[in-house]
Amino acid sequence: DGGINILVADSQNRRLVRFDRNLNFAGSIDTYLDMSQTERNFGLMAGIKFTNQGDILLSDTEEDRILKLDGFYNMSGEFGGFGYGFGQLREPAAIVVDAQDKVYVADSGNGRIAVFNPFGKFLWSIGEEELVAPRGLEIDTSGLLWVGEVGRGRVVVFSKEGRFLKEFGGGDDHRVSFSYPTSVRVSSENRLYVLDGREGSLKIFEIMR
């Protein structure tokens, strides 16, 4: 982003905030131009992700959609929309993009992960039988999908094909507990970082491959 390394969705203030690589404040974006070149305010954002082409994806929980912005912060598309059917969303949260530019959305209200192509066409869903209120998402270097599920207070792992592999946390797991795992990240050192929004804590685990 022209030397700007970090872009934050400041949800409560309904704006995007930019920081440089030294974490210095570099400005904010308070509005965007829609497809008709009309200035619009941002909604309540729960997720943000850059695509591999440099576009910006924002999950708008108020309008139940994914908003796509170009490098100038102008709207270049949208997909989703409220509903229970395939391709529709309810309270979308985290977004991740894989190496093939497929977009994975934590469709929190529908209890699943919705997968779209780069142009917003629905492809398939993951976890409809396993998930309740997923919010955090991560794809690691091997293609595994890590899900922070606030509905059951656990982290769930799926294969790149969408097959359930394992879980930890939750009511029956006495090894570790989460109250509200809202964000998950996997580092290049094979460490899993889980942000527990209710406890206000960051929990770190070593991943055994």
Instruction: Please give the pLDDT value at position 176.
Output: 84
Instruction: Please give the pLDDT value at position 34.
Output: 96
Calpha distance 48→54 (Å, rounded):
12
Instruction: Please give the pLDDT value at position 1.
Output: 57
For the chain, the straight-line distance linking the first and the last C-alpha, in angstroms and rounded, comes to 34
Calpha distance 132→148 (Å, rounded):
10
Non-local (6+) Cβ contacts of 100 within 8 A are none
Calpha distance 185→96 (Å, rounded):
11
Residue with tokens 């509005």, as numbered in its chain: 31
Calpha distance 1→170 (Å, rounded):
39
Instruction: Please give the pLDDT value at position 64.
Output: 98
Calpha distance 80→5 (Å, rounded):
28
Instruction: Please give the pLDDT value at position 90.
Output: 98
Q: What is the pTM of this model?
A: 0.93
Q: Tell me which residues of the chain have a pLDDT lower than 70.
A: 1-4, 173-174
